[in-house]
Amino acid sequence: MMPGRVIRCAGAALGMFVAFAGCDRQTVAAAALPYEIVTQERPESQEAYMRVFRLAYDVCARVRAIQNLPPPPPLVTLPADFVIKRSTYLSSGRGYLIRHEDFNVDFNETDCKTSIGSVMTETVVRGGQVYAQRREVDGHTDVEAPMPLSEPSVDGSGFTEKRTVGGIAMRCAPVTTSTDIALETCVADAGAGVLLDGLRYPIILHARGIVPVMNMVVVTDPVSVQIGKPVPEERIALSGAK
């Protein structure tokens, strides 16, 4: 498995628990509230996160030494505020924007060079249609053809424990439903139900989960949460879209 792909598994690990928590399929109605929410996902330990890359780098450096090649550049150092993912959720009450910025360590097996790369995916939901694009760190962008909005596989009704963290209302899954992958998951509380994104999935505000292949813990926390504050319709658009 390539290192970049390993990192992107971190978000998927927590997503699996969201599906588990909502498996009873009871209907939860959430008002079409405007909102702007930003969350971030980070490794609980940078040392654990870098373990797989350090191993690959050390092996690569030894091979270069055997081949009498110059030593490789130093292994990349993560900034103190390094995050695996930064997510933005916007709703104008009529349209929705979901933006995920994934950050990972890129490893070049030829010269052992490491660097921090990124991928941004955006989804706009408007009028029952889904518009999406993916942008690489070099600016290359793939735009998908519009698709009709489909029914979600979860509804959020498994999040039954109300909690307030830092003044933010959340609903959490009971501890008894935790798994070996997801240790704790809380989503945004919308009063009558949980707050949903444009694809009608619960918006995760806080979570702790394990990425088994990397043997590390990842933590999701809110950066900012504004619910009920008007969001201009022009902000519900793909980056660079006309």
For the cut 90, the answer to whether the pLDDT of residue 142 exceeds it is yes
| Alpha-helical runs (H) found in 34-187 | 46-66
Given this model, what pLDDT does residue 1 score?
Answer: 35
Residue that wins the pLDDT comparison between 27 and 82: 82
Cα separation, 237 vs 232, in Å, equals 11
pLDDT band at 178 (very low <50, low <70, confident <90, very high): low
Average pLDDT along the chain: 84
64 in Cβ contact with 17 (< 8 Å): no
Given this model, what pLDDT does residue 153 score?
Answer: 64
CB atoms closer than 10 angstroms to residue 34: 17
- Tens of pLDDT, residues 119-130: 999 999 999 999
Given this model, what pLDDT does residue 241 score?
Answer: 60
Residue that wins the pLDDT comparison between 152 and 104: 104
Given this model, what pLDDT does residue 6 score?
Answer: 35
Given this model, what pLDDT does residue 165 score?
Answer: 80
Average pLDDT over residues 5-34: 42
Cα separation, 76 vs 87, in Å, equals 24
60 in Cβ contact with 72 (< 8 Å): yes
pLDDT band at 177 (very low <50, low <70, confident <90, very high): low
For the cut 70, the answer to whether the pLDDT of residue 237 exceeds it is yes
Average pLDDT over residues 48-77: 95
Phi, psi of 234 (to 5 degrees): -70, -15
Residue that wins the pLDDT comparison between 44 and 138: 44
Task: Give the single-character DSSP code of 196.
Answer: B
Q: Is 0.85 topped by the overall pTM?
A: no
Given this model, what pLDDT does residue 97 score?
Answer: 97
Structural domain boundaries in the chain: 3-229
pLDDT band at 29 (very low <50, low <70, confident <90, very high): very low
